[in-house]
Structure 1
Amino acid sequence: MKPGLRLQGDAAVSSPKLRETASGDPVDVAVGRRLRALRQGRGLSLEKVAARTGLSIGFVSQVERGLSSPSLRVLALLADTLETGIGGLFEPGGTDRDPIVVSERDRPELRLWRAGITKQLLTPVSGTRGLSLFRTVLEPGASTGADLFTHDGEEAGLVLEGRLTLVVETRTLHLAEGDGFRFASRRPHRFGNPSARARAVVLWVNAICANADA
C-alpha cells in the first residue's frame, strides 16, 4: 500500500462490507472497464493491485467486470493505487485531443447507486493528475458511510442546494446552501446528506498536483 494511503472499513479483505451486490449496471461496467485499462496501462496485475489496496483479488476482478458496485471509499483507494484521481475513472469521450468544454448533455456520470450519490464530471477527462470539477448529488440520507477515508490531493466545494454534513478527522461540520469548504484529502474524512426529505447538490472540486508523490 502506498505510504500514507489509508482506507478504513472496506480495506480488510474479510470485511462484510466487501460483499457488494451484483450489479451489471452500465455505469459500473464503464467504470470497471476504465479501471482495467488504467491497471493494464501501468503494467499492474490483479494480484499487485490487491496487495497494494488490501482488497481481495476476486473483489477487484468483480469491480473491473462491472459485477460489483464499489463504494466511493473503494474507488478512491483504487484511484490512488492507479495514480489517478476520481476524475480519471471516467472514460474519455469524443475525438477532441485537447478538450476544453464539456456541454451539459455530454457530462459523464458516475452513479454510486448503493450510496445514493451521483457525480457528474463538469470538466474534460484529462491525464492522471490535475483538477476535476463535479456536480455531486446526494439523495436524502445518502452518505459515504460511517468510516473515514483518505486519498491523494485536495478538495473544495460549495453547497448549491440542501445541506451537507462533512466530517474531517474529529470535526463534524454542518453546511447549508451557500457554504463552502476546503481541506487536504489526506485528512480522514467522510460526508453525507443529513436530510431525510431533500437532496443535496454540491459543486465539488478534486485536485491532484503533478508532484503529489514527490
Structure 2
Amino acid sequence: MMNIGKKIRALRLGNSLTQEELANRLELTKGYISQLENNLTSPSMQTLFSILEVLGTDIHEFFSKEEEQTVVFKKEDFYEKENDTLKHMISWIVPNALKYEMEPIMIDIEPGGQSEIDDPHAGEEFGYVLEGQVTLVLNKKRYVIRKGETFYYLANKEHYLMNHSQQHTKVLWISTPPMF
C-alpha cells in the first residue's frame, strides 16, 4: 500500500517548501498539512489534485510505480577517459552524476602528470589520496597530500592536481555541484 503522506512530504521537501508555505498556497492550515503527511487524515480528491498541482506533479505521476533507482554501480558502469598529454585517466564512477548534487571521480595520474586546470567555479571539492602522493595547486599555492590524507576547499579559485613523485597516484575526487 502506498504511503500517501510520506510521498506528499517528499514532494514538498523536494520543492523546498515548509508545511506552512504549502498550506498558505492552498489556503489550508499547517496543522492539516502535518496531519496529511503523518497519515492522520486523508485529503479529498479535489484537495489532493490541488496539492499535487502546487508541488509540480499530477495524479498519474503521483500514483505511478516509482522506477527503481540504481544505487550500486560496478566497474562496467564506469566511464573512463585517458589524457595522454597530461598523463592521467579519469573514471566517472557514478554514471549520469550530472543529475545528482555531487560528482565523484577517480583520477589516476602518472609521474609528471596532472589534471586539467579548473577555472574558479561555484561549489566545493573534496579528495582522498588512495595511492601515492599528489600536489594540490589552489590559487598558485601548493599542498602536498599523501596516501590516506584528504583535501577540501571552496572551488572559487583556480585549482588542479599534479603528480611530482616518481610513483603512480590515485585520488578519489568529489565535486559539488557536478563539474568534471
* TM-score tier (shorter): 0.5 to 0.7
Task: Deviation per CA, 1:9-43: give whole Å up to 9, x if none.
Answer: xxxxxxxxxxxxxxxxxxxxxxxxxxxxxxxxxxx
| Displacement after TM superposition at 1:97 (Å) | 7.5
Instruction: Name the CA distance, whole Å, in 2 between partners of 1:189 and 1:126.
Output: 21
**Structure of larger gyration radius:** 2
Structure whose residues are more often strand by fraction: 2
Rounded Cα–Cα distance in structure 1 between residues aligned with 2:83 and 2:148: 25
| Alignment pair present for 1:118 and 2:105 | no
Distance of 1:127 and 1:166 partners within structure 2: 24
* RMSD of aligned residue pairs (Cα, Å): 2.3
Q: Structure 1 residues 134, 104: closer, same or farther in 2, change over 3 A?
A: same
Q: How does 1:45-60 map to 2 (within 5 A)?
A: none
User: Given residue 200 of structure 1, which amino acid in structure 2 is its aligned partner?
Assistant: T
1:143 aligned partner: 114
2-side partners of 1:136 and 1:157: how far apart?
10
Aligned residues: 112
Q: Distance in 2 between matches of 1:208 and 1:159?
A: 21
Going from structure 1 to structure 2, the CA distance change for 1:151 and 1:101 (only over 3 Å counts) comes to same
Checking the alignment, whether the CA contact within 8 Å between 1:100 and 1:124 is kept in structure 2 is no
Q: How does 1:38-187 map to 2 (within 5 A)?
A: 98-128=69-99, 130-144=101-115, 149-187=119-157
Structure 2 distance, partners of 1:148, 1:106, is 25
Cα distance in 2 for partners of 1:126, 1:158 equals 19
Structure 2 CA distance, aligned partners of 1:178 and 1:127? 27
Deviation at 1:139, TM superposition (A): 0.8
Q: What is the alpha-carbon distance in structure 1 between the residues aligned to residue 75 and residue 127 of structure 2?
A: 19
Unpaired runs of 5+ in structure 1?
1-95, 210-214
Letter in 1 for 2:73: V
Structure 2: 5+ residue stretches without partners: 1-66
Partner of 1:193: 163
